[in-house]
Structure 1
Amino acid sequence: MTIRILSLLLGIFAFSPALQAEGEWAQFRGDRGQGQVNAQNLPVQFGETENLAWKTEVPGVGWSSPSISGNEIWLTTAVKDEAAEQISLRAICVNAQTGTLETDLELFRIPGAEKIHADNSFASPTPVIGESQVICHFGTYGTAGIDRKERKVTWSREDYHVKHQGGPGSSPVPYGQNVILTYDGADEQFVVAVKQSTGEEVWKVSRSAPLREAPDTHRAFATPAIWTVDGKDLLISPGPDQVHAYDPATGAEVWHVRYTGFSNVPVPVFNEKHVFVCTGFYETEILALTPGGSGDVGETHVSWRYGRSVSTVPSPILVGNQVFSINEEGLAVCLDAETGEVLGRRRMNGAYSASPISWAGKLYFCEESGRITVVEATPEMPTVQVNRVEGELKASPAVRQDDLIIRTSTHVYCFRQ
């Protein structure tokens, strides 16, 4: 009896969401990708000379956001080797206390002639930090596991290939002892789970969506999220023309909802009643989906739709019963999560790629020129503070305890009060 109970418990542990310890930010947008900050005293006012704990130069180019566990801040970057006409895809680790660059490790090399979209980089997916491994993902160019203690590559895979036609974007998502990777290319679309410790494939599923004729419309760059409803975990995975709900333990599709959209980037956000999904370019909408059902639930489980100036890149964020979203042109909107009613709008000005974070009734919006505006998380979104950093800002912010971690095109910053 004891052995049977232990086996059941181990099975539950192996296939359960990777809940993060307090003060950790070990995947894109923190715990479950929701951008919610659990801190006591996060800086609101900061800059090049104010509340700056340290500032560290980072080589190369990359828009992956920092992932944080313990005293480790991990990110990826792409460094051009002009002499060899190649691009070096690398993992970087910075000490969270001091800002010391502790590790700069090459993982892959690709031809220098590879092309990406002007707004993207070869190192845009954010790493996942597990108990003993860091998983660095570069889409079609490869995925690698790094031993956190030894700072050595323990495994790598270069056998999953798609035509991104713009570069990689979807970040890996942890689930128990596995990590889930998303590939939505112009030629193929599939989702795969591999073991964090070895890279061994656990499951792989092809997308079920019937796609349009033009290959460009087959692409997507969204990072999925694990939504738990009534004790059941679902992997909510937006793709081209359809959002899929999978069993994250097996890859089996549970339900899907059709839409007309592609090249979507935002992570789904959720509460107990709804999961909110952005559909991407073409017919750009936010969909509020209710749990339950199987197969095509588009006629029965779409609670509401909103389609005015919706984001295709920055992810939305929930604060209480309100959904906040900012699009690439800086138009922010506050919606009632229950009904989709517009509660407020504000034009923030500028260009936006980074996803906002929420802390203590405030939102942090990061504009590409380096302006970070802190606003009240109310329908009017009044400004609390405007801050600035040097360099281009497309990576989403991360938080370690009470430290605000910002990555720009040239540096990683730590702001601490």
Structure 2
Amino acid sequence: MTQSSIIPIKRLFLAAAILTGSLTGIYADDWPQWRGPNRDAVSKETGLLESWPAEGPQLKWKTERLGEGYASVVVSYGLLHTIGNEDGIIFAYGLDEQTGTILWKTKIGESGRHALSTPTVDGEYLYALDPDGELSCLNARSGEVRWHVDLFAEFQGKLQSGRGYGESPLIDGKHLICTPGGDDAMLVALDKTTGRLVWKTSVPVLGDKGGDGASFSSIVKTRVGKIEQYVQLVGRGLIGVACDNGRFLWGYNDISADVANIPTPIVRKNLIFSANGYNAGSVLLKLTSDGDDGISVTEIYRLQGNEFQNHHGGVVALGEYVFGGHGSNNGLPTCLNLATGEILWKRRGPGVGSAAVIYVNNRFIFRYQNGVVALLKADGSGFIIQGKLQIPDAGGDSWSHPVVANGCLFLREQNVIYAHDIKRTDATSVATPESLGNAFSSKIQAALNAQQTENNSLGTSGDEDNINSIVFYSQLYNAPEPETVFSTPFVRLTPNAEGFFDPAVISLIKTAKCKFVIDLSGNEIHAKQLEQLKGMPLLVGLDMQLCTGMDETVVEALGKLTSLRCLRLGSTSISDSTINGLSHLTDLRSLDLEVCENISDDSMAIIAGFSRLRCLNLKKTAFEKLKITDKALSDLSSLEHLELLILYGNRITDAGMSDLAKLTELQFLDLSLVGITDKGVHALAPLTKLRNLSLLYNTGFSGPLLTDDCTTTISSFKDLEHLSLVGAKISASSVAELGKLKELKYLGIQYTRITPEGVERLQGLLPHTRIRK
């Protein structure tokens, strides 16, 4: 290691404090490794805000120039560490925890890949792994490299995914444990002070699911009988390895996904809970000592991907429950019974995309891919949102996990770290959001409250800052003001022990004199429940997202609620064969079929029959087998009143754009993660009323392949207020065209080729536009 690789900044007082141990008492709530002190995403820290101000907790500091990547941060003894990629060089960084000042940065490798692995701190040493397998031990205070091992060269490392190494090294006593993924070195133990090999593990063939090599998961430790073991999710599945000598103990293949295995398993003594994405689902295993030196494995339950899966945000086990975000490229807050696998509830969350989850101070923090960070209070019956903030400039591969340490919430967004003060003090005052009113009479509200029936207005349901939801629910009325939409009452109904809705509550809401929405989301539904809702002419909206039991009888009963204008069926099992039951909903204006895996082109003729439809959500996550294709757009082109259309993640190409261009009333169009090019964008020129256009490209899922050429058409959409070109291959040559969009309020150009100088010129042309780069 040459001296030029280390960029030190003197902080002698801090170093002295660490050496003398004078900071130990101050920093009792550190977060020194991946997923916290015990690798379970749980912190014992207390004395934190139990709800957040409307604008989010106060920003304490912000530090930039930390390289690209998804690595999270670790906090120990007053220092904060992470890794990042600066123009092909992987650096490890040391920052002052209190100020965010960069104290040092050290080169640990070179790579064209993003930095993925969160480093580990053990005492005065930092252990960091770059995406190409360069493992380094550094002095945490100075950044000086103590030793270095190349996992590819030393152990013939292999990777399940081409994205690179993403695990975080585990320090256990005198050893560092990691996963090279080699044929005879799937796991290795190294002397943490020298990097020398102690033992290595060869893993037999586990099955045909998944792929060879290391995955992104990180190792956890447990004990069964007298056998201490490391548990890891590798490319071919879950494995157990003896801590003393690396002896292979057991393996389980069925949880593997072919694309990648990512989440870290949960260990509870002899129980292993593992959730995985890409439709792999989840499993609970029971480990039993066979009395000798072996371990037997019993599958307690196995949940399929449509029941509970976790992409890469991780889950938290608390008492008898498991909490986490369900879905691939999704993060629906979900709770299940750990012992039985029963899904207790599953709801739509406040953010979009995968959600990383931690638990601290009796609250969950969900950090979503679109940069929404939410504070949730949850138990076995459901959750409530107790605060939100938006990370600036998020929206691409926004996957770094949140961290809480010593009264601060640390959030990494690519090359920036934000530190928010979440300590509760006597002077802390949390603002209560301004009431948006509720059109129910005070008598009805009081009676519902007395019945302990959740009710509020749409303006306080968590959707008020989501433009798609605003447009969706605006169709409850003819040309309404936003205040009218937000004051619309909603009532949350849950079945009683007999499986029905409380008759007293049903009778009460039938007396309402204003339009209202009923929320049934996450319930198990049967047809007789929906029959209880008949005779409600002012029931204009129904939220059935994530409901189970959506068979033919339920859909037919739903189709008899003919007063409905807005219907949300996202993440349900409604299908091409049952959707015809909705055909009597002739006044339907908004229909949400987001992530309905059984909906395909075959449903479009039925949907086209809803001639008054103005909002249609057909979003997929990119993992469903059934997609909407160009063929469907021919049917949908007859929906002449359509104003909002979401086709995110579908199998759409340039060939379908001519039919899409017939929908000349469109104002909101989402073509993210679809296979169009500049040619397809040019075909959309007739859509002159567009106000919101999303064309996001994601390196993990593909999407529109756009160049500077497309901007000549985009610049003709003079009413455009929101434009996402994330991942487009556009350069500074597009600045002049984009600069013509004078009504633009937001422009997302993350991961494009526009230079900082180009962004500066563009901001000069669009001084009132918020530009995210």
TM-score of the two chains, using structure 2 as the length reference: 0.46
Matched, 1:269 2:266: yes
Letter aligned with residue 312 of structure 1:
H
The residue that corresponds to 2:73 in the other structure is: 66
The residue that corresponds to 1:233 in the other structure is: 228
The residue that corresponds to 1:90 in the other structure is: 91
The superposition leaves residues 180-237 of structure 1 with CA deviations (integer Å, 9 ceiling, x where unpaired) of: 111348x887111212211111111122234539x85666221121124557532111
The residue that corresponds to 1:259 in the other structure is: 254
Aligned pair partner of 1:57 in 55, 60, 64:
64
Letter aligned with residue 247 of structure 1:
A
User: Is the Cα–Cα contact under 8 Å of residues 91 and 136 in structure 1 kept in the other structure?
Assistant: yes
The residue that corresponds to 1:176 in the other structure is: 173
Letter aligned with residue 384 of structure 1:
Q
Tell me: CA distance 1:181–1:42, structure 2 relative to 1, closer, same or farther (3 Å): same
The residue that corresponds to 2:144 in the other structure is: 152
The residue that corresponds to 2:134 in the other structure is: 142
Letter aligned with residue 254 of structure 2:
Y
The residue that corresponds to 2:387 in the other structure is: 385
Tell me: CA distance 1:216–1:230, structure 2 relative to 1, closer, same or farther (3 Å): closer
Give distance in 1, aligned partners of 2:55 and 2:135. Answer: 35
Secondary structure of 1:356 counterpart: strand
Give distance in 1, aligned partners of 2:391 and 2:276. Answer: 31
Aligned pair partner of 1:289 in 258, 280, 285:
285
Aligned pair partner of 2:125 in 133, 146, 151:
133
The more displaced of 239-248 and 59-68 is 239-248
User: Is the Cα–Cα contact under 8 Å of residues 235 and 256 in structure 2 kept in the other structure?
Assistant: yes
Give distance in 2, aligned partners of 1:176 and 1:303. Answer: 32
Letter aligned with residue 143 of structure 2:
R
User: Is the Cα–Cα contact under 8 Å of residues 93 and 103 in structure 1 kept in the other structure?
Assistant: yes
The residue that corresponds to 2:44 in the other structure is: 38
Secondary structure of 2:61 counterpart: strand
User: Is the Cα–Cα contact under 8 Å of residues 184 and 201 in structure 2 kept in the other structure?
Assistant: no
Alignment of 1:166-205 (within 5 A): 166-184=163-181, 190-205=186-201
Displacement of 1:280 in angstroms is 4.5
Give distance in 2, aligned partners of 1:290 and 1:216. Answer: 24
Displacement of 1:132 in angstroms is 2.4
Matched, 1:302 2:306: no
Tell me: CA distance 1:260–1:339, structure 2 relative to 1, closer, same or farther (3 Å): closer
Tell me: CA distance 1:242–1:101, structure 2 relative to 1, closer, same or farther (3 Å): same
Displacement of 1:149 in angstroms is 3.5
Secondary structure of 2:132 counterpart: helix
Aligned pair partner of 1:23 in 26, 29, 35:
29
User: Is the Cα–Cα contact under 8 Å of residues 329 and 350 in structure 1 kept in the other structure?
Assistant: no
The residue that corresponds to 1:369 in the other structure is: 370
User: Is the Cα–Cα contact under 8 Å of residues 206 and 253 in structure 2 kept in the other structure?
Assistant: no
Tell me: CA distance 1:353–1:88, structure 2 relative to 1, closer, same or farther (3 Å): farther
User: Is the Cα–Cα contact under 8 Å of residues 362 and 376 in structure 1 kept in the other structure?
Assistant: yes
User: Is the Cα–Cα contact under 8 Å of residues 133 and 197 in structure 1 kept in the other structure?
Assistant: no
Displacement of 1:279 in angstroms is 4.4
Give distance in 2, aligned partners of 1:46 and 1:25. Answer: 25
Displacement of 1:313 in angstroms is 1.4
User: Is the Cα–Cα contact under 8 Å of residues 74 and 91 in structure 1 kept in the other structure?
Assistant: yes
The superposition leaves residues 217-269 of structure 1 with CA deviations (integer Å, 9 ceiling, x where unpaired) of: 66622112112455753211112333111122321122222315231111111
Give distance in 1, aligned partners of 2:383 and 2:212. Answer: 34
Displacement of 1:322 in angstroms is 0.4
Letter aligned with residue 151 of structure 1:
G
Tell me: CA distance 1:46–1:54, structure 2 relative to 1, closer, same or farther (3 Å): farther
Displacement of 1:28 in angstroms is 0.6
Give distance in 1, aligned partners of 2:352 and 2:184. Answer: 31
Secondary structure of 1:395 counterpart: coil
The more displaced of 238-247 and 289-298 is 289-298
Alignment of 1:201-212 (within 5 A): 201-212=197-208
Give distance in 2, aligned partners of 1:370 and 1:396. Answer: 11
User: Is the Cα–Cα contact under 8 Å of residues 265 and 273 in structure 2 kept in the other structure?
Assistant: yes
The residue that corresponds to 2:609 in the other structure is: none
Structure 2: 5+ residue runs without aligned partners? 1-26, 424-773
Letter aligned with residue 193 of structure 2:
S
> Which structure has the greater CA radius of gyration?
2
Letter aligned with residue 261 of structure 2:
N
Give distance in 2, aligned partners of 1:73 and 1:88. Answer: 20
Structure 1: 5+ residue runs without aligned partners? 1-20, 81-86
Give distance in 1, aligned partners of 2:296 and 2:46. Answer: 41
Matched, 1:124 2:116: yes
The answer to which structure has the higher helix fraction is 2
RMSD: 2.6
Letter aligned with residue 65 of structure 2:
V
Tell me: CA distance 1:101–1:245, structure 2 relative to 1, closer, same or farther (3 Å): same
Letter aligned with residue 418 of structure 2:
Y
Tell me: CA distance 1:266–1:373, structure 2 relative to 1, closer, same or farther (3 Å): same
The residue that corresponds to 1:10 in the other structure is: none
The share of aligned pairs that are identical, in percent, is: 21
TM-score of the two chains, using structure 1 as the length reference: 0.83
Give distance in 2, aligned partners of 1:302 and 1:388. Answer: 40
Letter aligned with residue 206 of structure 1:
S
Give distance in 1, aligned partners of 2:93 and 2:53. Answer: 24
Count of matched residue positions in the alignment of Structure 1 and Structure 2: 377
Tell me: CA distance 1:52–1:377, structure 2 relative to 1, closer, same or farther (3 Å): same
Secondary structure of 2:38 counterpart: helix
Secondary structure of 1:54 counterpart: strand
Letter aligned with residue 310 of structure 2:
S
The residue that corresponds to 1:77 in the other structure is: 84
The residue that corresponds to 2:747 in the other structure is: none
Give distance in 2, aligned partners of 1:269 and 1:351. Answer: 25
Tell me: CA distance 1:407–1:66, structure 2 relative to 1, closer, same or farther (3 Å): same
The answer to which structure has the higher strand fraction is 1
User: Is the Cα–Cα contact under 8 Å of residues 363 and 375 in structure 1 kept in the other structure?
Assistant: yes
Secondary structure of 1:377 counterpart: strand
Give distance in 2, aligned partners of 1:201 and 1:46. Answer: 51
The residue that corresponds to 2:399 in the other structure is: 394
Secondary structure of 2:302 counterpart: strand
User: Is the Cα–Cα contact under 8 Å of residues 318 and 324 in structure 1 kept in the other structure?
Assistant: yes
Matched, 1:315 2:306: no
User: Is the Cα–Cα contact under 8 Å of residues 357 and 365 in structure 2 kept in the other structure?
Assistant: yes
Structure 1 residue ranges, 4+ long, deviating more than 6 angstroms after superposition: 46-49
User: Is the Cα–Cα contact under 8 Å of residues 117 and 130 in structure 2 kept in the other structure?
Assistant: yes
Letter aligned with residue 37 of structure 2:
D
Give distance in 1, aligned partners of 2:58 and 2:68. Answer: 26
Tell me: CA distance 1:49–1:352, structure 2 relative to 1, closer, same or farther (3 Å): closer
Displacement of 1:311 in angstroms is 0.9
Displacement of 1:109 in angstroms is 2.3
Secondary structure of 2:94 counterpart: strand
The residue that corresponds to 1:330 in the other structure is: 331
Displacement of 1:136 in angstroms is 0.4
Give distance in 1, aligned partners of 2:283 and 2:57. Answer: 40
Tell me: CA distance 1:247–1:385, structure 2 relative to 1, closer, same or farther (3 Å): same
